[in-house]
Structure 1
């Protein structure tokens, strides 16, 4: 244990209802280090509470809570180390098994040259330590990232194309949302560039013919008034 003075925020509530102690005397980081040591040197996924005279055991759910608390602290320290140029340090992290039916987890060393594959000690299935998902078989992490980025770009392009499609012939037009209408370059259909409503119907009925989600929609459009004059024969 570190046996140094710590701020109160380093002593969170008891991690188990089975704990016999009223207060915490060991800080979060030391409890984390103790749990890490126990898990690394045992095949069990339960660990003992390190508080004096406490016989409580932490289950995986409580270990996860502990990991999340300490990770918030370490993420700040990691940022500080990176800002000072220490970017290639070895780092040990607790990796949860990505297979839902399992629920186990274990510590794994993350370093520049270490394997990102974590084989679960309980179910023997593989998890990617970098992405925290089921291992992307047949793809390295770099290839997985590239493939994911390409899919996202394709999805974004599909969304953009859908916005530009003529609602009548599906031709992709260049549109300008500042204009009140778009004229399809292919079929000459006229429509609102935002909600794609027939522009001729909008002219005939009024702005309330736009879709209600359209910024041009007006439920109370001003009616056009016209003067009429009678022909007088002198």
Structure 2
């Protein structure tokens, strides 16, 4: 029994040694860490270039408006964004709000296109003009005629009630005459006064064309014919019709008293010649 136990122990030791030798002869297994996939380098986006037809500058395509910004056209954008905005600013300042056109063709730009292609200040002016036009389309809406007020409201009575009183500032104007309220005058009297004022202005313009004021009393004088020696019928002042010079010295001393640019001017024959300035002395 003791011999059997010794054999078992010896056999177990031998098996253990064989196992250890096998492990020693087997190469160790290397631990491989996971490697993250390497992305290929991104290709740089190369922008196409074109020349603006307005400023004649070669620019990248990102400096031109896209088709989404200006969608009502069937042509490409050949005007850069900066020139486009300058063009729209000029159009807004010089045309009716609904006449703002493309810089390359005659197509009128829409509301959204102008909003996309202009700055806040210019678009605000355009938006206000469009809003005022929409209100003006209402036959009953009227704006206040005060120079300092931009308000207005509906006036349903029309010309049956000629007085329009602004609810914002209280300014009154006549709906029938389309003018500031003519206190104390009927519409017919006011129109008659306007006509008389216009006729008076036209008369003054005609007088200015065919007459000259007297150099002394300023009354208008008309020359029908005859010589250029004029005598004012109001103050009896004698003057030249062409140069307005006092005619009495001309009669007494000669034509050199006319202004030099006058047709009747003549040099004074008795005038002493003006001596030339002496040359500076030399040492």
- Classify the TM-score, shorter chain: 0.3 to 0.5
Q: Which has the higher contact order (CA 8 A, sep 6+)?
A: 1
TM norm structure 2? 0.37
> Which of structures 1 and 2 has the bigger CA Rg?
2
